[in-house]
Amino acid sequence: MRFTKMHGIGNDYVYVNGFEETVERPEELAQVIADRHFGVGGDGLILLLPAEEGVDADCRMRMFNADGSESEMCGNGVRCVCKLAHDRDVVKSNPMKIQTGAGVLTLAYELDDEGKVSEVTVDMGKPILEPTKVPVLPDKMKSTDDKHTFVLDFMDSGELFTATMVSMGNPHATVFVPDVEAIDLERIGPKLENHPAFPNRMNIHFVQHHSSNEVTMRTWERGSGITLACGTGASAVCISGVLTERNEKKILAHLPGGDLTLEWRDDGHLYMTGTATEVFTGEWPL
Least confident of 146-160, 188-202, 215-229: 146-160
Whether residue 9 is found in the same domain as residue 118: yes
* DSSP H or E segment with residue 186: helix 185-193
Same domain, 177 and 114: no
Would you state the pLDDT for residue 119? 97
The pLDDT value recorded for residue 155 is 60
The pairing of beta strand 214-221 with beta strand 250-255: parallel
Residues 259 and 148 in one domain: yes
Q: Give the tens place of pLDDT for each residue, 50-106.
A: 999 999 999 999 999 999 999 999 999 999 999 999 999 999 999 999 999 999 999
Sign of the C-alpha dihedral computed for residues 65, 70, 72 and 73 taken in this order: positive
Mean pLDDT on 241-264: 97
Q: Which domain holds residue 250?
A: 131-268
Interval 231-243 mean pLDDT: 97
pLDDT at position 159, please? 85
> Measured between alpha carbons, how far is 82 from 60 in angstroms, rounded to an integer?
10
74 tagged catalytic: yes
164 with 105, same domain? no
Please identify which of the residues 74, 80, 82, 238 carries the catalytic annotation.
74
Instruction: Work out the mean pLDDT of the chain and round it to a whole number.
Output: 96
Cβ–Cβ under 8 Å, residues 105 and 235: no
Predicted TM-score of the model (pTM) = 0.91
> Which candidate, 273, 278, 284, 281, places its Cα nearest to that of 124?
273
Helix, coil or strand: residue 82: helix
Q: Are 243 and 212 in contact (CB under 8 A)?
A: no
Q: Do 87 and 165 fall into the same domain?
A: no
Kindly state whether residues 59 and 164 are assigned to the same domain. Answer: no
pLDDT at 286: 79
Domain check: are 117 and 145 in the same one? no
pLDDT-based confidence at residue 262 (cuts at 50, 70, 90): very high
What is the tens place of the pLDDT at every residue in 132-183? 999 999 999 999 998 999 999 876 777 899 999 999 999 999 999 999 999 9
Could you give the number of structural domains in the chain?
A: 2
Q: Please check whether residues 116 and 175 belong to one and the same domain.
A: no
CA distance 152 to 163: 7
Regarding whether 143 and 249 lie in a shared domain, the answer is: yes
CATH of the domain at 188: 3.10.310.10
User: Looking at the predicted structure, is the pLDDT value of residue 40 above 70?
Assistant: yes
Same domain for 157 and 66 = no
In one letter, which amino acid is 114?
A: E
Pairwise CA distance, residues 207 & 193, whole Å: 16
Q: Are 140 and 261 in a shared domain?
A: yes
Same domain, 189 and 219: yes
